[in-house]
Structure 1
Amino acid sequence: MVRRVRRLLVAAVGAVLVAVMSVGTAHAAPKSAPPGVDITGEGLSEPLRLRTETAPAHVTAVIDQVNWFGTDGARSGPKEADLGPKYTVVVLAGDQPKQTFDLYPLAKGGPRAYRPAKQPNAAKSNAGWFLGRLNMSETLRTAGVPLPRQIEAVSGGVGGGERMLPEESLDPGRDIDQALGELQRLLLLNAGVVIVITLGLAGIALLVRRRTR
């Protein structure tokens, strides 16, 4: 009888441990939200909403226009009369805005971009002006922005520098608050399982003790 009870105990503990490991793995790797882009500006009666599910190439191309800027840009930009039409690009992770930039694809002397100090994700950022890629206008035009075609803009042009939008910044699963929330839920779940196992072991031990008297 004692051997039978021991076998049942081992089987029960093994099943509980497998369940805990499976749930823990699921909570440790939350699915990341896909990136997206919202564009507003001259000639657009409503925001141009680009999402990875429907326009992955356009989302990647537009983000590529702003993800290479350094930490510090120029404090002043061209004269307002030389900037041309402005288009505000908001980079999102799922439906959550992460960063915003003002793009001037037709500025005299080449495309320009401005990064405001105030960002929607509350991250610290230095306001600054940057030279834009030469294909900025064509990238926006092919994405749906009403701009004249620029035949000479074929390659990326100006580029390089430190990346300001690494991949993890577009993954809300990596946000500190969400990570802490997932960890808290996992710890509570594990604590509950430990309590159940402890009570089960106590009950089985009591049963064995009574049967062996």
Structure 2
Amino acid sequence: MSDQDNNFTLPPNVTCFSRSKNAQISERHLFLTRLRNRELPYQAFRKTADQLFDLIAEAMIPHLENHEVILTPIFRAGLSLLPVFMSKIENSRLCSIGVKRNEDTAQPEPYLFKVPPEIAADAKFVILEPMIATAGTMCYSLGMLKKQGYDLNNIEIISIFCALEAVDKLQNEFPQVHIHTEVVDPILDEHKYIVPGCGDFGDRYFGT
């Protein structure tokens, strides 16, 4: 299945870069095809991912201008996006959220939450998470931010691969949060992994 074949309707709070019409669309699809290749060595996977991250960061800059930016990677895989975004947005700060998925229950398990002190009232939280499968971890993280009193209207999610089930869940539970993703894949398998996806993004990016 090609990315162009995913013609299902997306929720209104989702921007899918692979569906956009611009001069970089063929380059984006090339990068996605490489990332989906399970035989690609981690060095080539990382290089390709970084090239795609660069395009995404450039596309996001207009949305973030004139705001304090709090980059919020979801550990571990979200750390892959951090260097590119920090280099593009020099005055950004870091919010650390550590939530892992229990592989037996597919439920989120938190282990870290640290927000910078004294942030601006209109600061933009930019959550970095390359894969969103069930959205359990993402919903948990958003709930943590909401509980601390942060305005969910000022939260943007950056991803590469999202499952349709995940974007539907986020639309239902957090409709004010906007998702910017490279592609939305149609289904999850019996192990709750994205199909076709790219495998475990963190393992493939970090070579683990």
* Pairwise same-fold verdict (TM > 0.5): no
TM-score normalised to the size of structure 2? 0.21
Q: Max radius of gyration: which structure?
A: 1
- Structure scoring higher RCO (CA < 8 A, sep ≥ 6) equals 2
Structure ranking higher in strand proportion: 2
